[in-house]
Structure 1
């Protein structure tokens, strides 16, 4: 069974009901201060931390005096716009005293469904984490409509875990794990400590949301678990209402762990290897040798480009003799590669007329 202290990179999902008092509509600052101490503890272990946080609409509706009922789309978007500022400020205020820098990242479903936007999101989050920043991620409720929504932050958190290559995803919930039935209705319900495989029987046990502030029920949590574990990320559901819930989890608090099916890097490599390439590049011998050492592909190592493809598309890589080297997700279109191939990364802006990324294919985005 996984433990938080062994995590290299962890995504933590925080629901509205944990952050915002149901009766007053105010932020539960003492709880958030405790969470900040947990984040400090994880950072001290050398772990990267991403927080996927609900709460903007719940905070905003109180400020605007909107009713505690289902809001019309335009009301929800207005509440999100007001609440998002307060939510980001609250995280900054509790983490800054620990010398932890925060960043606000707002996303929609399109940012993961569109491969180009997905790669941009991945690159931004990876850069933030490499600088020691704790990103605060939320769905961009101000602009998101039903057709571009995740709809709940359980699935958003799972997608973010996949995007950043996390090895653990923690869903802080209003229940302390996955049960065979609703424990508030069935006293004989059994809590599972570990679930190694999400079977049809497990799926049949899932219920729906029971909280007025929360949209996510066990069905969405199982969907999140399937997404995360397939990508090599273990997932836990645990009670988030306790003070310092992450420390409590590490100390043996009730939880259900869903076992990862592989490791994140291997899962990502398999995903890339299964893609149909939209084009190809030929590399010089130096670039082929560099890739074997684990480096990214730079424009200087490319001698030719074939096909019509855009940023984010899968392309094949060949050595000078025409042998396949591997597949990768291109950070440039075929036309752009035609302009920058054989040139150093420092020359990209002068050649294209705008700044570009140093790597043509990042080492995390290729399968050799």
Structure 2
């Protein structure tokens, strides 16, 4: 956390600092409590997007709101979230309305909208991730504004992001974006919940997501599913892949313009820069197991070395070679990577030096349990 005060404009995700920006729109911003669309607010966002595009900034929108809009049209209770079936039905109906609303608002500003609906598997599977990346790249090159949402009509608990904050962070990876802006119903991360604690103060800059920072997270009370805990998870995903992430107040008109003008917000700065496969690894949500490391192994990874079996003290999970596993030190997760062995062979050579591996396994061994080229530190 930064103690030094600063001009918020220094870190705002402006066209000059952030040529490609992902902007996430929460349900509580786009949809009124009665389930109706906030048309004036939407029109102001479209105007902001047009201004950003005119200034040379490419914008990708990640928009919630389909379930809320669909629930109103179908007359469903609890905003369409009374059951999984209700939510899926509401999403199917509401997504049509949501796409139409964005199309109309952007067309009024001379912009073309494109709709992309994604599930978790679309970005967890490496080949499909690359397909999404290529599609976004082409749309942006054509001057189109992509509008993304999770495909809630088919997503279930096992194959979903769970909130669009994390989808926005993952989209930042896929689009090779320079920043992600989460427009919310709060101005950013506070020392306590500002809705219940008058002494809560805004944290303007987070250089590292520490346990103290995580302890400050609290629910936002919004219509959507992404409270501050989800936003911190998104920030961790984005910054691990070298993408800056900001949380800003989106409740008033022209929220993007207000952010870029320097209205208070919280910025999470990336500690490292990762691209390509390493950025994809950093953003993975689905892990197949965990490798627990001794202090020597953690130190070796920090120096850029591969993970050797000798530094592994415990293994969890049933994974195959090539699956993504978590790398865990004594203080918690330190990274993730592609396993060079399946779980059974990894357990067999755990703690053993490389020269002993062939005798233990009965065949020629690989040099590393996780190669440096196939791991990323968090």
TM-score by length of structure 2 reads 0.69
1:134 lines up with 2:142 in the alignment = no
Partner of 2:48: 38
CA distance in 2, matches of 1:226, 1:162: 12
Pairs within 5 Å for 1:13-32: 13-22=24-33, 24-32=34-42
- Alpha-carbon spacing, 1:144–1:44, altered in 2? closer, same or farther (3 Å): same
Quote the Cα distance in structure 2 between the aligned partners of 1:125 and 1:272.
Answer: 16
In the alignment, structure 1 residue 2 sits paired with structure 2 residue 18: no
2:57 maps to which of 38, 42, 47: 47
Counterpart CA distance in 2 for 1:107 and 1:152 is: 12
- Provide the rounded CA distance (Å) in 2 between the counterparts of 1:162 and 1:71: 33
Matches of 1:222 and 1:271, distance apart in 2: 17
Equivalents in 2 of 1:247, 1:147: separation in Å? 37
The 2-side partners of 1:153 and 1:273 are apart by: 19
Are residues 176 and 209 of structure 1, via their aligned partners in 2, closer, same or farther at CA, if it must alter by over 3 Å?
closer
User: 1:228, 1:260 within 8 Å by CA — same for their partners in 2?
Assistant: yes
* CA distance in 1: counterparts of 2:207 and 2:47, whole angstroms: 31
Structure 1 residue aligned with 2:275? 267
TM-score, structure 1 normalization: 0.71
Matched, 1:233 2:243: yes
Task: Find the aligned partners of 1:143 and 1:60 in 2 and give their Cα distance.
Answer: 15
Deviations 1:219-260 (A, max 9, x none): 110010011111121111111111000111112212111112
Does 2:267 correspond to 1:257? yes
Q: State whether residues 166 and 231 of structure 2, in contact with CA within 8 Å, keep that contact through their aligned partners in structure 1.
A: yes
What stretches of structure 1 move > 6 A for 4+ residues in a row? none
CA offsets 1:32-63 (integer angstroms, 9 cap, x no match): 00000100011011111100000000000000
Cα distance between partner residues in 2 of 1:145 and 1:84: 17
Q: Structure 2: how far apart are the matches of 1:152 and 1:254?
A: 24
User: Hey, what does 2:122 align to over in structure 1?
Assistant: 111
Structure-2 separation of matches of 1:271 and 1:165:
9
TM-superposed deviation, 1:121: 1.1
**Structure 1 segment 1-368 matched on structure 2, within 5 A:** 1-3=10-12, 4-6=14-16, 7-22=18-33, 24-69=34-79, 70-211=81-222, 213-263=223-273, 266-268=274-276
User: Does structure 2 retain, via aligned residues, the 8 Å contact 1:231–1:261?
Assistant: no
1:268 deviates by 3.2
- Segments of structure 2 that go 5 or more residues without pairing to the other structure are 1-9, 283-321, 324-378
- Residues 271 and 97 from structure 1, CA distance in 2 versus in 1: closer, same or farther, beyond 3 angstroms? closer
Q: Deviations over 1:155-208 (max 9, x none)?
A: 011000111111111000000010011012221112111111111110111113
The alpha carbon displacement at 1:5 in A equals: 2.8
Shift of 1:272: 8.2
Per the alignment, in what secondary structure is the counterpart of residue 198 of structure 1? coil
Q: Report if aligned partners of 1:209, 1:215 keep a CA contact under 8 Å in 2.
A: no
Give the 3 Å change call, closer, same or farther, for CA 268–262 of structure 1 in structure 2.
farther
Looking at structure 2, the residues matched to 267 and 191 of structure 1 have their Cα atoms a distance apart, in angstroms, of 31
Q: Size of the alignment, in residue pairs?
A: 272
Q: Please give the alpha-carbon distance, in whole angstroms, between the structure 2 residues aligned to 1:115 and 1:146.
A: 21
State whether residues 77 and 141 of structure 1, in contact with CA within 8 Å, keep that contact through their aligned partners in structure 2: yes
Separation in 1, partners of 2:278, 2:173 = 13
1:209: how far off? 4.0
- Matched residues in 1 for 2:52 and 2:281: separation? 33
Distance 1:157 1:273 in 2: 16
In the alignment, the residues of structure 1 paired with residue 155 and residue 228 of structure 2 have an alpha-carbon distance, to the nearest angstrom, of 23
